[in-house]
Amino acid sequence: MRGVDAAKRLVAELEKRTLIVNRLITASGGQLTVTEPLDGEIEINVGGTVLCVPRKPLLLPGVSDSFIAYLLLHHLDGLPKDTDGHPFLDADPIYMDWLCNEVANVGAADAQAETHEIKLTGDHSTDNASLFWHEIFFANKIDLNITRQDRQDADMGEASADASTPLGALNRSAVSVEKALDDIKTAVRQVMDEHQQLLKFHRVMGPFLKSADGQGDEIKGVRLMGKTVSTTEATLTFIGTDKRLYTTFDSTGPVTCISPAHFMKVVDFARRQRVASVGDIVKPPTAPNQRQLTTDCSMYGLTTESVSGPVLWADEMQWIIELTKKRNVTTTLLFKSSRDTFGYQSFLNKVTGKSGLLFALRHGDTHRFGCFIDGQLKPPNDLTQTSGKYDVPLFFYSLSGAFTKPTKIELPGQGQKVEVAGTQGAVRSNKGQPIGKVAIARGRLWLGFARPGPAADLSSCQQWISKDDIPNGYGGEINTKDETFLHLASRPDLTCDEMEVYHLQVNGA
């Protein structure tokens, strides 16, 4: 009986996890199975160009486990729609046109009992944009039971809808309790693995899907020399509403001051920055006339330097918003160091006057942390002075490195203070030494830190938390000189690799 009871508990666990997976698929407009005719085509608007993708080759080996195949077969309804009703993919139409042709080649080869491997060759193999999009759409893989079932349906056309599910396998093979237990355990592990794969898919593909509140989903396009170039409001806002790229898409007239090829590269560089994954490096576009392309990028508000991907995943951002207990929040990226530099004046220009500032810092490849300030940074009118310490609610958080899971760190009341220096001033330590530009939580986070200071820019930081304020689960480094202080980076004195500041604004406030 114990074995039977254990089997029942495992079946209940399997059903619960399967339900979680199914809800994750359908929550953003996904379908559990392919319902459209396999001999048909998918029409999709990619960056302003409508492309056709044959459906059946998306189910063939070598293609079916790619993110793009899963997106087009199961999440097409989750994409924004253009005015003609086409699903819209905010990606490079040049790369996607090549990929659609390659998918068709796979189908043609299969029809002749041959194979065709999709790989970047020629100019695509060295083009920064093609390499970026290929990594996102094709090199990323997902292998779910539902996609395996779709492949069986495409090959045989007669597989039972539930014949290959974990529960179906269990029902066929449960000749003994022991065998049943093994089958269920295997099925539970499979569903747990699929859950992790889906979480990765949603993290990487999330920027392409419709947002829950519709924010940023509007598709905007311009015409130049008979061609339409389109992107989303989210991409344009990410680059900056004060940039010429944003105002160009708000104009009704054609674009005439730049070549179509260069303009498409500028827009694509902007969208690549927005949709990049955590840890990515977004390399600038290249062209035969690189000097002119550099000028064109600058004209529209972009540099031709590599830009780091985001510090936060979208689900991590949502987790932090929930920690603030604010509702109906709009998030805007105010400052990004790889885009705006670590210069203090650049930083102040972006964040001053905004209330509700979320700081996100990355140190190396492993440690990501930050803080939320429920108020403003207030630089003094006298550029040589500081604001003095002032009260403001705040908390810290760790996303990776110091803890095994995202963790909130709350501070005592005396730690809820901030001090900001003028551009020619410095915040001083308790001993009166000038050591930084911004002291958050009474120096638990210093920006522009040095001894003596301040440092030349904000990348030089110091971060520490009293051991008494650290929640359970800390797995970071212990300060061997003083074990009463722990840190959220890999060491207390650090050079920040990327810093972002977001404005969390409550709509209607």
**pLDDT tens digits, one per residue of 440-478:** 999 999 999 999 989 999 999 999 999 999 999 999 877
Total number of residues shown for the chain: 509
More confident residue, 162 or 325: 325
CA distances from 499 to 37, 271, 312, 359, 502 (A): 47, 20, 11, 7, 10
Q: Residue 82, exposed/middle/buried by CB under 10 A (0-12, 13-18, 19+)? A: middle
- Provide the 10 A C-beta neighbour count for residue 403: 21
Reported as a single tens digit per residue, the pLDDT across 279-289 is: 899 999 999 99
- At 175 the pLDDT is 52
- What is the gyration radius of the CA atoms in the chain, in angstroms? 26
Question: Residue 167: its pLDDT value, please?
Answer: 45
pLDDT exceeds 80 at position 366: yes
Tens of pLDDT, residue by residue over 114-147, are 999 999 999 999 999 999 999 999 999 998 765 5
- What spatial distance separates the first Cα and last Cα of the chain, rounded to whole Å? 60
pLDDT for the residue numbered 399: 97
Contacts of 455 (CB under 8 A, 6+ apart): 436, 437, 448, 449
DSSP annotation string for 261-322:
HHHHHHHHHHHHHHHPPTT-EEPPP--SSHHHHHHHHHHTT--SS-EE--SS-HHHHHHHHH
Lowest mean pLDDT of 149-153, 191-195, 224-228, name the range: 149-153
Residue 363 has pLDDT above 80, yes or no: yes
3-state SS, 187-233, equals: HHHHHHHHHHHHHHHHHHHHHHCCCCCCCCCCEEEEEECCEEEEEEH
Query: Using an 8 Å Cβ cutoff, are 181 and 28 in contact?
Result: no
pLDDT for 80 equals 95
pLDDT tens digits along 3-27: 567 667 767 776 777 777 677 677 6
pLDDT interval class at 83 (50, 70, 90):
very high
pLDDT over 70, % of the chain: 87
Question: If you average pLDDT over every residue of the chain, what do you get?
Answer: 88
Distance from C-alpha of 461 to C-alpha of 452, rounded to nearest angstrom:
13
Neighbours of 341 (CB within 10 A): 17
Distance CA(321)–CA(216), nearest Å, equals: 18
- DSSP-assigned beta bridge partners for residue 499: 361
Residue from 509, 461, 453, 507 nearest 488 by CA: 461
Mean pLDDT (whole number) for 360-385 = 97
> Structure pTM?
0.84
| Helices 260-275 + 290-299 axis angle, to 10 | 60
pLDDT at 408 exceeding the cut of 50: yes
Average pLDDT of the segment spanning 364-370: 96
From 431, 404, 406, 429, select the one nearest 419 (Cα to Cα): 429
Pairing between β-strand 88-89 and β-strand 41-46 as defined by DSSP bridges: parallel
Angle between helices 166-173 and 177-205 (to 10 degrees): 170
Beta bridge partners of 468: none
Q: What is the largest CA-CA distance in the chain?
A: 82
Question: Of the ranges 113-122, 248-257, 321-330, which one carries the lowest mean pLDDT score?
Answer: 248-257
- For the segment 362-386, the average pLDDT, to the nearest whole number, is 96
pLDDT greater than 50 at residue 370: yes
Question: What is the mean pLDDT of the segment spanning 51-67?
Answer: 95
Rounded to whole angstroms, how far apart are CA atoms 135 and 242? 31
Is residue 495 within 8 Å of residue 461, measured between CB atoms? yes
Q: Cα 249 to the chain's mean position, in Å? A: 24
For residue range 218-249, list pLDDT tens digits in order: 999 999 988 999 999 999 999 988 899 999 99
User: For residue 148, is pLDDT > 80?
Assistant: no
Both tokens assigned to 215: 């924010």
Q: What is the pLDDT of residue 9?
A: 73
